[in-house]
Structure 1
Amino acid sequence: MRILIADDHGMVRDTIALFLETEGVEQIVRAESLDAALAAVRGTGSFDLVLLDYNMPGMLGLSGLERMRAANDGRPVAILSGTATPTIARDAISAGAAGFLPKTLDARSMISAIRQMVAGKTYVPFDFLERDAARTVGNLTERETEVLRGLCEGKSNKEIARDLMLQEVTIKLHVKTLCRKLDARNRTQAAMIARDLSLV
């Protein structure tokens, strides 16, 4: 089994490599950036699994995932992160990642996830995603839920303000708060997340 670990933190690379060495993995290659990881693939051929740190140099969000998937001949590429949100985890899976690994995973879970992905399965940390869903559902005010419903119906801030008999500037503030609470980049993504989580 050949595994490529790409992370700009040496301690993270070494810790995961140690987990894998203990499990008898034959070849482990380390890289500190996306460019170094791509060079490793070009130099030695595709890997059984590539682990990419979401925040390391060169990644530019999930565009780095796309580049590595192409370079690795379509073989499994997973996202590794200690700070990425559940929304990013869902986006990564949707973009074709073989899985999403929080850096907080214990050794046994990490090895199990890696074996699943090498075998062609997708690893999704459901407890990580569900915990966020539960937090979000219980964290919206009644007014925020009303505004969110308007977003899901495709209404403008002006239309929502008229429906709720509020000032448009007040709706803008609610939308900003909703995007923060739902971990959304914009109002469209907030509406998509709301539908996924059945919030409205």
Structure 2
Amino acid sequence: MRILVADDHDLVRDTIAAYLDGADVEEVCTVATLQDAVSLAKSSGSFDLVLLDYNMPGMNGLEGLERMRAANEGRPVAILSGSATRDVATAALKAGAQGFIPKTLSARSLLTAARFMAAGEVYTPIEFLKTGGKGEDDILTRREQQVLQGICEGKSNKEIARDLDLQEVTVKLHVKTLSRKLEARNRTHAAMIGRDRGLI
């Protein structure tokens, strides 16, 4: 897996790159501007995942996301931020970001999220989806609804993974995420909540 980290703060950039140095990450490249990121993707070939700092020079809001996605040939591009609001996170996802990563994320969580996004899944931390006013069916992603459906049918993570053509570890992460969103104690409780609220 090849990952590109684009952030104008040296310490943040280097720390994130160090976090991502996992067994299945062959290469982590780092740049300080959007233009450098675009140029590198064009010259060295697209990356499995690009992490873009939302407030980096050249980004101009979410216009930078669109430029980077084009340069990376449509492959996963996610937004990094230390200060963006939930509205920005939501707008980024609607604009095609593969995920939204707070810079406060732990090393382990960041590596898990990177693998998740590189596999084509959308990642968003729970705190950005706690809306209060929105219904749970708006909070759950399409994939989470599919996993919840499998749980309600009494299927194991392994069976759900086979049905959805996913890795079992990916399904496990979806189960954990949707359970937290629904404030469920366990998968059985999540299934009960899902049925009670008509989410499936």
TM-score class, shorter: 0.5 to 0.7
Counterpart position of 1:147: none
Identity %: 59
Counterpart position of 1:60: 60
Task: Point out where structure 2 has 5 or more consecutive residues left out of the alignment.
Answer: 135-200
CA RMSD of aligned residues (A): 1.5
SS in 1 for 2:84: coil
Counterpart position of 1:91: 91
- TM-score if structure 2 supplies the norm length? 0.64
- TM-score if structure 1 supplies the norm length? 0.64
Is the CA contact (8 Å cut-off) linking 2:101 and 2:125 kept in structure 1? yes
Equivalent residue runs for 1:1-200 within 5 Å: 1-130=1-130, 133-134=131-132
- d(CA) in 2 for partners of 1:23, 1:110: 14
Is the CA contact (8 Å cut-off) linking 2:93 and 2:99 kept in structure 1? yes
The structure whose Rg is larger is 1
Shift of 1:127: 2.4
Is the CA contact (8 Å cut-off) linking 2:2 and 2:25 kept in structure 1? yes
Structure 1 residue ranges (4+ consecutive) displaced by more than 3 angstroms after TM superposition: none
- d(CA) in 2 for partners of 1:127, 1:54: 18
Shift of 1:24: 4.7
- d(CA) in 1 for partners of 2:104, 2:19: 14
More helix by share: 1
Task: Point out where structure 1 has 5 or more consecutive residues left out of the alignment.
Answer: 138-200
Aligned length: 134
1:3-59 CA deviation, whole Å, 9 max, x = no partner?
Answer: 000000011111111111244511111010000101111110100000000000000
- d(CA) in 2 for partners of 1:114, 1:8: 20
